[in-house]
Amino acid sequence: ILYGHSGPIYGLSFSPDNKFLLSSSEDSTVRLWSMKTKTNLVCYKGHNYPVWDVDFSPLGYYFASASHDGTARIWSTDHIFPLRVLAGHLSDVDSVKFHPNCNYVATGSSDKSVRLWDVQKGECVRIFTGHYGAIYSLAFSPDGRVLASGGGDGNINLWDIGSGKKLKTF
């Protein structure tokens, strides 16, 4: 058992090399765990409310978090404070996912929108609308051209990243 958080755990993400695990919690923190020593290495504080999701970048050094405070944040494992605060959603940010090329992060929100953010600039570059409920799950295709979003409306939407258009609803 890994001890550390003082509330329920909502998100988990392994580093690409399987050496670390990130966890996000109702206690407003993200924790970095060593898989070798099975201990907590760092407690990241920056959100003011529960952290619903966390995702390691494909390269492993950076990660993103999504929170009830309406923001997503970009972090590096060697800094205890966020590098970028991604603000723009009108409600909880429920899900977060790094693009395969590490240059973008997608966020899904209770405001029924998905946003695509430029990691370097911290700016929103696309807004995808078409769900009728919160977006709880996101996935990029391996080639990074398509984003899938799963919502509280029971739908999965496929989005073309280049054009911003909806390709299909399941």
Q: What is the pTM assigned to this prediction?
A: 0.95
1 has a pLDDT exceeding 80? no
Total Cβ atoms within 10 A of residue 96: 28
Rounded CA-CA distance 170/7 in Å is 34
What is the per-residue pLDDT across 90-145, written as a single tens digit (0 to 9) for each? Answer: 999 999 999 999 999 999 999 999 999 999 999 999 999 999 999 999 999 999 99
Query: Looking at residues 41-60, what average pLDDT do you find?
Result: 95
What is the per-residue pLDDT across 79-104, written as a single tens digit (0 to 9) for each? Answer: 999 999 999 999 999 999 999 999 99
Q: Which residues, 6+ apart, have CB-to-CB distance to 38 below 8 Å?
A: 2
What is the per-residue pLDDT across 3-20, written as a single tens digit (0 to 9) for each? Answer: 788 899 999 999 999 999
Rounded CA-CA distance 75/46 in Å is 10
Q: What is the pLDDT of residue 3?
A: 73
What is the per-residue pLDDT across 22-46, written as a single tens digit (0 to 9) for each? Answer: 999 999 999 999 999 999 999 999 9
For 161, the token pair is: 């990243």
Please report which confidence band the pLDDT of residue 2 belongs to, taking 50, 70 and 90 as the band edges. Answer: low
Q: What is the pLDDT of residue 5?
A: 86
